[in-house]
Chain A
Amino acid sequence: MAQSTIGIATRSRTPTRLGIVTAISFLVMVILPFVVGEFQVSLLSKLLLFGALAISLDLVWGFTGILSFAHGVFFTLGGYAMAYYLKLNLSAENNTYGGSLPDFMVWNGLTELPWFIAPLKYFPIAAIAMVLIPAAFAFLIGWFIFRSKVSGVYITIITLAISSALTTFFISQQAYTGGTNGITDVSKLSIFGINIPPNGLYWIILLFTTFVLVGSWWLTQSNFGLILRSIKENENRISYLGYDVASFKIFIWTLSAGIAGIAGGLFVPLNRFISPVYLAVAFGTQVVIWVAIGGRGTLIGPLVAAILLGQIQNSAERVTQDWQLVVGVLLLIVVLFIPDGLVGTVQKLFMKKQQPASTKQPVIDHN
């Protein structure tokens, strides 16, 4: 009896079919730069970063049930950290004014580099800032909203407010942030004097996104993942089992913001600029849409949705300016007809096929 129940219902942490698919996709993508052109490589690099950003939102929304419109903010904070680094490392001849002060600071009458921006000239500091600033910011917000037991729709409203407030703030601090234009014309990425070519950057990003996907999957298969899912279903019950729900929420929220920050940091050398556009609610909404369409709680779904929608958007923008409308309609269809998202729905169909409808017996020892 006991023998037949070993292995019941426990989610295995060893790779299965999904792992094989991921590994093959990874290998195909590794050799892609030898097949497609530089433009495609650069586009795919961006889309992979949007994918990582979508996965980071899936951790807090899909698994823990916290709908956030502020993930664009965490992404952008990481982006600014990297943008300062790249801007401050422009070689003198590439700098409009020949000096060491970024052009937008000169225009706004600054005569020397503010002390809080100066350290970002050094790569290790910029790299740490790109994770730590969004994570610390998220930790602070998280500490207040989750400890004060704000929940549900109010948290979502707060994330909207944060997004709007930061957009306004960054626009208003023109001398330090470049205002509406943001930080533009940044240098190409070089680390410790070594130039990173586009393909190199692509591989770094591919590794990063793969790591985020596999790491998130590993994390959510653990007891920790089980606790997140129970917080999503009923956060009160689990506190009577001895779990400090707020600390779990703060942890995943902060971790997620850190991931978003790295994605934003890696985004800037590709995009060559960062601006409050990425702080704004519209961008935060886009991340939400990727997760919703891909399938909440599936990790791979949001990644695939970000890549596919990004590709479609790239082609559609050449044909029509009403791309946002297309996305809106798409979202409506998903919300109304396939609430589990694309991957979520496929997974459910797949599970039903595996399990004959006639028997209500649980699947025991099938793997």
Chain B
Amino acid sequence: MESILSVKNLQVVFSGFKALKGVDLEVGDREIVTIIGPNGAGKSTLLDAIVSKSPVAAGNVYFQGKDITNKNPYDIARMGIGRKFQNPNVYNELTVFENILLALKGTHGILNSITTKLTKTKKDKIIDVLDRIGLLGDAATIVSSLSHGQKQWVEIGMVIAQDPSVVLLDEPTAGMTPEETHATGEIIKTLARNHTVVAIEHDMDFVKQIAERIIVLHQGAKLAEGSVDEIQSNPKVIEVYLGREKINDAA
């Protein structure tokens, strides 16, 4: 299968510290890939490097066969890669509606932004997004007054509105109750019907709910890769990651 997103020998260095030590990743069209790994493993950094938030020291990122390594973030976004950040990165001073409107797919030029009107088609699209993230009743609410979980949904809504080919989600369920986490899983599964999804997650139930393929990162390198069952029975993974989770759970 032809990869839509392809990461080759990616290295990211923060003032001498190698956060990524040559990571490879192939993601097929409309696949759901989940990245797990202990804190500080470099999961967020991997997504940051793909969207040029962190500079790539060596290696390459290809999107639909084109080299996008260290390109402008806005070019990468326009090409069709959307990103949800680890801590909800939304506009707190704007309303929920305005956050989604900003993200809405379309042209991003200056003159267009001045002359464009809020057409019924656009409004319907936004209403549809709000409906999917369960925030239709909060359209006019200023985002700062929402709960952490709701903010996560606003940002997921922004990514949906952006309608990119590849969606990168960084811990989309952090701070959510089990019910909210499950609801988010369903949103993501619906999204994955016509989008490629790469999600970082900690919650193993959630991973089982959505994952087709799992990548395990550890200390800036890929430790393992496979199906849910393969990963859960992999001794190395149990040692550095899953085992520790169990100990944490017991404590």
Residues in chain A within 8 A of chain B (CB atoms): 1-2, 5-6, 8-10, 219, 222-224, 226-227, 229-230, 233-234, 236-245, 247-248, 251, 360, 362-364
Bound-state Cα–Cα, A222 to B112, Å: 10
Beyond A8-B139, A227-B113, whether A242 also contacts B91 by CB under 8 A is no
Residues of B contacting A: mostly: helix
Using a CB–CB cutoff of 8 Å, the interface residues on chain B facing chain A are 51, 53, 72-74, 77-78, 82-83, 85, 89-98, 101-103, 108, 110, 113-116, 118, 123-124, 127, 130, 136-141, 145, 158, 162
Query: Does B110 contact A247, Cβ atoms closer than 8 Å?
Result: yes
What are 27 A-to-B residue pairs whose CB atoms are below 8 Å? A2-B124, A8-B97, A8-B139, A9-B96, A9-B139, A10-B123, A219-B114, A222-B114, A223-B116, A226-B94, A226-B98, A226-B101, A230-B94, A237-B91, A239-B73, A239-B74, A240-B51, A240-B82, A242-B74, A242-B77, A245-B74, A362-B137, A362-B138, A362-B139, A362-B141, A363-B140, A364-B139
- Identity of the chain B residue whose Cβ is nearest the Cβ of A360 in the assembled complex: B145
A364 near B113: Cβ-Cβ < 8 Å: no
Q: For A219, list chain B residues within 8 Å (CB).
A: 114
A365 to chain B, nearest CB (A): 10
CB proximity of A306 to chain B, nearest CB, Å: 26
Give the distance in Å from the alpha carbon of A236 to the alpha carbon of B52 in the complex: 11
How far apart are the CA atoms of A1 and B113 in the complex, in Å? Answer: 29
Q: Contacting A242 at CB < 8 Å: which of B90, B108, B110, B137?
A: B108
Q: Is the CB of A9 within 8 A of B108?
A: no
How far apart sit A158 and B93, CA to CA, in the bound complex (Å)?
Answer: 28
Partner of B102, one of A238, A244, A360, A364: A238
B93 touches A229 (CB 8 A): yes
**B74 A362 Cβ-Cβ under 8 A:** no
Partner of B136, one of A1, A230, A239, A247: A1
Q: Out of A6, A248, A362, which one reaches B110, CB within 8 Å?
A: A248
Asked if residues B51 and A9 are in contact (CB atoms below 8 Å), the reply is no
| B contact residues around A234 at 8 Å (CB) | 89, 91
**Set of chain A residues within 8 Å of B140, measured between Cβ atoms:** 8-9, 362-364
Is B94 in contact with A244, judged by CB distance below 8 angstroms?
no
Q: How far is the CA of A241 from the CA of B103 in the complex (A)?
A: 6
Which one of B85, B93, B97, B140 has the greatest number of beta carbons of chain A within 10 Å? Answer: B140
Q: Is the CB of B77 within 8 A of A239?
A: yes
A240/B73 contact (C-beta < 8 A), A5-B127, A362-B139 known: yes
Closest to A365 in B: B140
- 13 A-B pairs besides A240-B53, A360-B145 with CB distance below 8 A are A2-B124, A5-B139, A6-B123, A10-B123, A224-B110, A230-B91, A237-B91, A239-B72, A239-B73, A240-B74, A240-B77, A241-B158, A247-B110
Q: With A and B bound together, what is the CA distance between A348 and B102 in angstroms?
A: 24
Report how far A224 CA is from B116 CA in the complex, Å. Answer: 9
A233 touches B92 (CB 8 A): yes
A residues near B139, Cβ cutoff 8 Å: 5, 8-9, 362, 364
B203 to chain A, nearest CB (A): 24
A158: min CB distance to chain B, Å: 23
For the complex of A and B, 9 pairs with smallest distance between CB atoms:
A362-B140, A242-B77, A9-B140, A9-B97, A224-B113, A223-B113, A8-B139, A9-B95, A242-B78
The interface residues of chain A lying within 8 Å CB-to-CB of B53 are 236, 240
CA A243 to CA B90, docked complex, whole Å: 15
